[in-house]
A and B are shown apart, each in its own frame.
Chain A
Amino acid sequence: MSTLETPLGESAAGAEVHLAGVVHLYSSPEGEVVALRGVDLDIGAGESVALLGPSGAGKSTVLGLLAGEFTPSAGSVQIGEHDIARLGSDVLSRLRSRDISLVVQGATTNLLSYATALENVWYAQHGARRRGSSPARGAVELLELFGVGELADRRVAEMSMGERQRVALVAGVAILPRLLLVDEPTSQLTNEDRDRVIETILTIHRQFGLTVIVVTHDADVARQFERTVTIRDGRVGAEGRYGVEFAVVGRDGSLHLPPDVLDLLPPDSLVRVIRRPPDGVELRLANEEEL
Chain B
Amino acid sequence: MLRARILVAAIGARRGSAAVLFIVAVIAIAAAAIGPMFLQSADTSVFASTAKAAPLGQTDLLAITTGGVTQMSKLSSATRTARRLADGRLAPTIFTAVVASYFETKGQPYESDILARTGICAHLHVLKGTCPTEANDVAISERSAITADVSIGDSLPVTEPGSSSTTKMMVTAIYVQPSNDDNSYWRGSYYFDFGTGTPPKVILDPMIATFGTALTSRGAVPQLSADLAWRASATHSGATILQSTAAEIKSRLFTRDDFAVTTGLNSVVSTARHDDDLMSAVVLAIVLQLILLSLVIVYTLGRATILARRQESEFARRHGFPRSALIALAISEPAALIVAALPVGVLVAWLTLAGLTKTLFVPGTPVSFPAIAIVLAAGACVAGVTALTIASYDLWRSRVATSRQARRVGVVVDTFAVALAVTGLVSLLTKGSLNGAKSNPLALLAPGFLTLGASVMGLRLAAVAVKVLIARTGESTHVAWFLALRQIGRRPSVLRRLLPLAAATAVLLFSVGSFFVASSNRSLVAHLEVGATKVADVTVPPGLNLETAVRRADPSGREAMAVEYYPSSTGGLLAVDGSRLATVAFWPTALSAKPLAVLAKQLSPRLPPGVSFSGDDLRLTLDLSKGTPAIVLGVNLFDETYPRSRTLYVELVGGLHSYVMSLAKVCPGVCRLTSLAPNWVNPATPYAKNVSIAVQGIAVQENDQWRAVSFGAGKERAWSAQPTSVRVGPPESTSVAFDIPADQLPYGGLLLKPVDLPKRIPAIVTSGAEVVDAPPNPSPGKNIGLSPGGSFFTAHPVAIVPTLPLVGASGVVMDLGVAERAITSGVSPTLQVWLAPSASPAILHRLTRVGVVVGPVSTAAARLGVLDHGGIALAYAIALIVSPIAALLAVGTVTFVIVSDGRRRRRDFASLSMTGVPLRTVRRAYVLENAFVLGIAMLLGAVIGFVTDSLALSSLPQFVSGSGGFPISRAAPIAPLLCAVGILGLLLAAAVELSTRLAMRSSRSRLDSGSVE
Which residues of A does B touch, CB under 8 Å?
26-29, 64, 67-71, 89-90, 92-98, 101-102, 104, 108-115, 119, 122-128, 130-131, 171, 174-175, 187-188
Contact = CB atoms under 8 A, between A and B. Distances in A.
A96 B317 contact: yes
A96 B325 CA distance: 14
A175 B486 CA distance: 43
B5 interface: yes
B12 A119 contact: no
A175 B10 contact: no
Nearest to B490: A29
A163 B325 CA distance: 28
A114 B402 CA distance: 30
Interface in B289-326: 311-312, 314-323, 325
B999 to A, nearest CB: 20
B6 A119 contact: yes
Contacts of A174: 319
Contacts of B489: 29
A102 B320 contact: no
Contacts of A26: 403
Contacts of A90: 322-323
Contacts of A122: 2
Given A93-B320, A110-B318, A126-B321, 5 more contacts: A27-B402, A64-B400, A68-B399, A92-B398, A112-B315
Interface string B11-26: 0110000000000000
A123 B402 contact: no
Contact of A96 (B9, B319, B490): B319
B1013 interface: yes
A71 B400 CA distance: 9
A98 B315 CA distance: 14
Contacts of A109: 311, 314
A115 B323 CA distance: 23
Interface of B is mostly: helix
Given A111-B315, A113-B13, A127 B323 contact: no
A9 to B, nearest CB: 16
Nearest to A89: B398
A114 B10 contact: yes
A174 B320 CA distance: 12
Contact of B322 (A101, A104, A131): A131
Given A27-B404, A29-B490, A111-B315, A127 B320 contact: yes
Nearest to A102: B318
B325 A127 contact: yes
Interface string B168-201: 0000000000000000000000000000000000
Interface of B: 2-3, 5-6, 9-10, 12-13, 311-312, 314-323, 325, 397-400, 402-404, 467, 470, 486, 489-490, 1013
B319 A124 contact: yes
A113 B315 contact: no
Nearest to B489: A29
A97 B320 contact: yes
Contacts of A104: 314, 318
A130 B328 CA distance: 13
Given A27-B402, A29-B489, A128-B320, A114 B314 contact: no
A98 B321 CA distance: 10
Contacts of B400: 64, 69-70
30 contacts: A27-B403, A27-B404, A28-B403, A67-B318, A70-B399, A89-B398, A92-B399, A93-B320, A93-B398, A94-B320, A97-B322, A101-B319, A102-B318, A104-B314, A109-B311, A110-B315, A111-B311, A111-B315, A112-B6, A112-B10, A112-B311, A112-B312, A113-B13, A114-B10, A119-B6, A123-B6, A126-B3, A127-B322, A127-B325, A130-B325
A101 B5 contact: no
A114 B312 CA distance: 11
Contact of A119 (B5, B321, B399): B5
A136 B738 CA distance: 134
Contacts of B10: 112, 114
A127 B319 contact: yes
B320 A96 contact: yes
Given A67-B318, A92-B398, A113 B311 contact: yes
Contact of A101 (B13, B318, B398): B318
A142 to B, nearest CB: 14
Nearest to B492: A29
A253 B232 CA distance: 99
B1011 to A, nearest CB: 9
Q: Which of B9, B12, B470 has the most CB of A within 10 A?
A: B9
Contacts of A115: 6, 9
Nearest to B5: A119
Contacts of A119: 2, 5-6
Contacts of B490: 28-29
A114 B318 CA distance: 18
**Top 5 A-B residue pairs of the complex, sorted by shortest distance between their CB atoms:** A97-B320, A96-B320, A89-B398, A114-B13, A127-B320
Contacts of B2: 119, 122-123
